[in-house]
Structure 1
Amino acid sequence: MSQAAQATAQVPAPGQRISLLRVLGPAHVWALGVGIVLVGEFTGWNFSADKGGALAALITCWFVGILYTSVAMIDSEVTSTVAAAGGQYAQAKHVVGPLMAFNVALYLVFAYTMLQVSDAILVGDLMVTVSATEGLTRHAFVVVTIVVLAWLNYRGVLMTLNVNFIITALAYASIVILFFSVQPWSQGVVLKLNELVTPENALPYGWIGVIAAFQFAIWYYLGIEGTTQAAEEVRSPSRSLPYGTMAGMITLLIAAAITWYVCASLLPWEYLGFTFFPLFDAARVTGSPTLEFILFWGTVLSAVASANGCINDAARAWFSLGRDRYLPTWFSAVHPKYRTPYRSILFLLPIALAFAFIADLNQAITFSILSGVLQYTFMSINIVMFRNKWPLGSIRRGYTHPFHPIPAICLFLLCAITFFAIFLGFGSQLIAMVIFYVIVSLWFHFYRYRYVRRGDQFTMPWPKPQGY
């Protein structure tokens, strides 16, 4: 049965509250997480080579991989237990409190909106580069990308993520095809890693360059935590969320390693740190028109899949704020036919378009990273509070992540390093964003919180937490 048919079959009676549909499985969770992130293999991560050299890009690839593995493990436990739209926002609301929840929701909305903007800019710039037509600008491509994907999200989550599964798989296949086409088992035939990464240029700026490279190495995996945003629309949260998230993380670790190996073996680190299209340029260097064609479409599809997932996630975080009266309840409306948070989708559409016209790719990526790292820092604290308030055995968990509190400690330390790296490159933007969050926190505390129905925001049937 199609999603439209399902929705029509479940049209609520007059006065009945309309809810989101539970129609997603593990494959959709995988498609949402990997779909958002995979564009980071096609662009973004390579700017870490500009900060510290090709070897720094590899070192940070694995350390940031540890950061995101910790994120995936922590998210899988808390979200499979708090299975509500908004993901980390719902976690913060139940574990920490309203002010933290409000801020976390804003982190999510800004991270996904600016990631969506980056994706649209990438599509536009690539189309302009390949067409080589004088006077052609990216603006029309940016508008078409964002508007069409917003319409797709408006029409339903099942259709949206089915599309994401297909285009994400195709984009991922393009990376694998490039990898095997350049004969990775025979260094020196096509790949020239020993010539391009030498002891003299491996770390051109020393170990401080490795620290600085953390800023853009985040782009290898940024957005995998987005799997939690669909928690309320998953048929079996305790099964689908952990399986889909961890499978997505494994997929991305493999893709990141392949991407670095091929690009560092074909492109000098100076150029690698400058280009917006590292995999596409690597395909062009091989001289194969077929590989160039495949990686062109792989880049486009990865950006479209990412923007598609970002619209889904940002809208659900904004919808959750409206449903709990943290923002006007107008935003909490669910479409009676398509069962999507359509007002939140439409509200965020012009905001994304505005940023796409005024920001460049580097700025959009940086703002997305900043909001993402603020959110990850919260998660390291949140899981410790969650385990302390509700120890194992006190409530039913869908999944229990191992080795606690090691993942939380690793996540916090790596976030601290990343904040320092961002300060080195974009200190003014970091300070401006912190000031912004302080101002909106004051607004929420002194004005907006009076409209919140405090008893309604806590939906989990848990016992009183330890120590209360």
Structure 2
Amino acid sequence: MAGSTVNEDYLAKRQLKRGTAGWLLLAGLGVSYVISGDFAGWNFGIAEAGWGGFAIAAVLMAIMYFTLVLALAEMSAAIPAAGGGYSFARQAMGPAGGYLTGLAVLIEYALAPAAIVIFIGAAVEELLGFNGPIVYAVFYALFIGIHLAGVGEALKVMMVISDLAVFAILATAVALIGDFDVANLFDIEPTDALGASTFLPLGFYGIWAALPFGMWLFLAVEGVPLAAEEAKNPARDVPKGIIGAMIFLLGTAVLVVVLLAGAAGAKAIGDSGVPLVTALKDTDSQTLATVVNVLGLAGLIASFFSIIYGYSRLVFALSRAGYLPKFMSLTSRRKAPTWALVVPGVLGFIVSLSGAGDLILGMAVVGATLSYALMALSHILLRVKQPALARPYRTPGGMVTSGIALVLSLIALTGVYAFDPRAFGYTIVLFVLGAAYFFVFSRHHLVAQTAEEEFALLAQAESDLDEYESGG
């Protein structure tokens, strides 16, 4: 029987290590995904819009992410699968909708590490005096190797690195409080743009162009549900983990956006490649600036490390379902998805050789906003189509909450075009090519035609494996 063959010979070889992550470790994963965004990148939004314009953009993106996180918390508790947003969309919109959502997330998660490793190379050059492909290759090889050792070990290493990065942000905030001056937030001269003022020196257009930079303060927190199959109690731990991470990140975002510009001036922060270090140097905290410069590398490493984890779980889920080549979901004796870690890592390394970190990150943001719109839509459709679905956690505000996330994600998508039309255009081409792969080839090779069928097969395979391991 085909189902039995898939059950015994296929899914049994594609098992992740269950019960390795509680809610606190999952919250740490969410913070780790994002933390490098607090160190650099977001501040260029001040150059696009002035402090006031960027503050508006950041608040809008914070609302988008918070409402999306609340919707994801419900869906991750109801559908605890390693595919995260892909799994939710497949349940709501079928194989095509699931794949297109997964493809958008994959663009984000495959390209983001390539951009981050370029920034890591720049930080290594500043600290040690060398950079280039060798640095990129070493970081990819080292951290993929740690992930291959097993998820428990990888997540613990990630927590230590993230803690160092968080310490740097908190220490910087404490050092800058005494130098804060509201006038410093508005030291950019108003232009003649429509709506320009002291508060909005680059006018209304600046707010639109700054939206992608507001996203950098929270980008990739949506990846927490990718760890659902490895959580101790997915229905409880994933919602607590992703909401906890989001609340923490809201706090760090307020600290860096307000205190850095308020201490060193909006113009200086908007032009800086290392805003925390710039703010500390401009306020004569030279020693701490050196320490934070080193720990800034820890922030980049934390995000690089954790997003590798995220893309591996997504590729694993897409491959296991038959959307991507099936060998990519094979797991090792340590229950690590070997090829799902290695293949995107090799491709990411090749992309990183371009050195175009800003362009690559812009493309990752386009993939992210597309996926957010599809995930928010999935929440709405699941509420309409499957009202009886068991929901251990329910989104406050229901479809209104996910509707807000949907609208804001579409607005954010246009914001990327306002800032960098190249990144927008290249990503749409990549998305169309990926969609063509599905409609021409992979839709004919799916393991199961519905999400429910795949999850049932997976549950049976896990039950069989448990019986085997217990001697039954």
- TM-score (normalised: structure 1): 0.89
- Equivalent position SS for 1:222: coil
- For the 8 Å contact 2:312–2:340, the answer to whether it is kept is yes
Q: In 2 relative to 1, CA 15–40 (structure 1 residues): closer, same or farther, beyond 3 Å?
A: closer
Displacement, 1:442?
Answer: 2.5
Alignment of 1:145-224 (within 5 A): 145-182=139-176, 184=177, 186=178, 190-198=179-187, 200=190, 201-224=198-221
Aligned to 2:436: 442
Q: Is structure 2 residue 414 aligned with structure 1 residue 425?
A: no
Displacement, 1:18?
Answer: 5.0
Displacement, 1:457?
Answer: 4.7
- Equivalent position SS for 1:125: helix
Aligned to 2:357: 361
Aligned to 1:58: 55
Q: In 2 relative to 1, CA 14–384 (structure 1 residues): closer, same or farther, beyond 3 Å?
A: closer
Question: Deviations for 1:413-444, whole angstroms, at most 9, x for unmatched residues?
Answer: 21222122111122233133223322322331
- Equivalent position SS for 2:306: helix
Q: In 2 relative to 1, CA 225–65 (structure 1 residues): closer, same or farther, beyond 3 Å?
A: same
Give the AA of the match of 1:105.
G
- For the 8 Å contact 2:89–2:97, the answer to whether it is kept is yes
Equivalent of 1:351, from 329, 347, 350?
347
Q: Is structure 2 residue 75 aligned with structure 1 residue 78?
A: yes
* Partner Cα separation in structure 2 for residue 398 and residue 68 of structure 1: 21
* Partner Cα separation in structure 2 for residue 284 and residue 195 of structure 1: 16
Give the AA of the match of 2:316.
F
More displaced 10-residue stretch of structure 1: 192-201 or 60-69: 192-201
Q: Is structure 2 residue 123 aligned with structure 1 residue 126?
A: yes
* Partner Cα separation in structure 1 for residue 261 and residue 206 of structure 2: 17
Question: Deviations for 1:348-374, whole angstroms, at most 9, x for unmatched residues?
Answer: 111111111104221122011111000
Alignment of 1:27-426 (within 5 A): 27-131=24-128, 133=129, 136-182=130-176, 184=177, 186=178, 190-198=179-187, 200=190, 201-336=198-333, 338-391=334-387, 394-426=388-420
- Equivalent position SS for 2:353: helix
Q: In 2 relative to 1, CA 83–195 (structure 1 residues): closer, same or farther, beyond 3 Å?
A: closer
- Equivalent position SS for 1:203: coil
Identity %: 22
- Choose between structure 1 and 2: higher helix proportion: 2
Q: In 2 relative to 1, CA 126–14 (structure 1 residues): closer, same or farther, beyond 3 Å?
A: closer
Question: Deviations for 1:167-205, whole angstroms, at most 9, x for unmatched residues?
Answer: 2122112111111122x2x4xxx2344145258543221
- For the 8 Å contact 2:94–2:450, the answer to whether it is kept is no
Give the AA of the match of 2:183.
N
More displaced 10-residue stretch of structure 1: 150-159 or 111-120: 111-120
More displaced 10-residue stretch of structure 1: 107-116 or 267-276: 267-276
Give the AA of the match of 1:292.
A
- For the 8 Å contact 1:196–1:265, the answer to whether it is kept is yes
Task: Flag structure 2 segments of 5+ consecutive residues without an equivalent.
Answer: 1-7, 191-197, 457-472
* Partner Cα separation in structure 1 for residue 182 and residue 127 of structure 2: 27
Task: Flag structure 1 segments of 5+ consecutive residues without an equivalent.
Answer: 1-11, 462-468
Question: Deviations for 1:115-164, whole angstroms, at most 9, x for unmatched residues?
Answer: 21222122211222344x4xx33433322222211111111111111111
- For the 8 Å contact 1:27–1:165, the answer to whether it is kept is no
* Partner Cα separation in structure 1 for residue 331 and residue 210 of structure 2: 42
- For the 8 Å contact 2:14–2:329, the answer to whether it is kept is no
- For the 8 Å contact 1:56–1:202, the answer to whether it is kept is yes
* Partner Cα separation in structure 2 for residue 29 and residue 355 of structure 1: 29
- Equivalent position SS for 1:397: coil
Displacement, 1:284?
Answer: 2.3
- For the 8 Å contact 1:39–1:306, the answer to whether it is kept is yes
- TM-score (normalised: structure 2): 0.88
- Equivalent position SS for 2:80: coil
Q: In 2 relative to 1, CA 24–414 (structure 1 residues): closer, same or farther, beyond 3 Å?
A: same
- For the 8 Å contact 2:184–2:265, the answer to whether it is kept is no
- For the 8 Å contact 1:117–1:356, the answer to whether it is kept is yes
Instruction: Give the RMSD, CA atoms, in angstroms.
Output: 2.2
More displaced 10-residue stretch of structure 1: 164-173 or 77-86: 164-173
- Equivalent position SS for 1:97: helix
- For the 8 Å contact 2:144–2:308, the answer to whether it is kept is yes
Question: Deviations for 1:300-349, whole angstroms, at most 9, x for unmatched residues?
Answer: 1111110111111101111112111112211110102x111011111111
* Partner Cα separation in structure 1 for residue 366 and residue 207 of structure 2: 18
Displacement, 1:104?
Answer: 1.7
More displaced 10-residue stretch of structure 1: 57-66 or 274-283: 274-283
Aligned to 2:4: none
Q: In 2 relative to 1, CA 455–366 (structure 1 residues): closer, same or farther, beyond 3 Å?
A: closer
Q: In 2 relative to 1, CA 236–212 (structure 1 residues): closer, same or farther, beyond 3 Å?
A: same
Question: Deviations for 1:252-296, whole angstroms, at most 9, x for unmatched residues?
Answer: 000000001222123343442332211122222232233113311
Q: In 2 relative to 1, CA 352–439 (structure 1 residues): closer, same or farther, beyond 3 Å?
A: closer
* Partner Cα separation in structure 1 for residue 10 and residue 378 of structure 2: 39
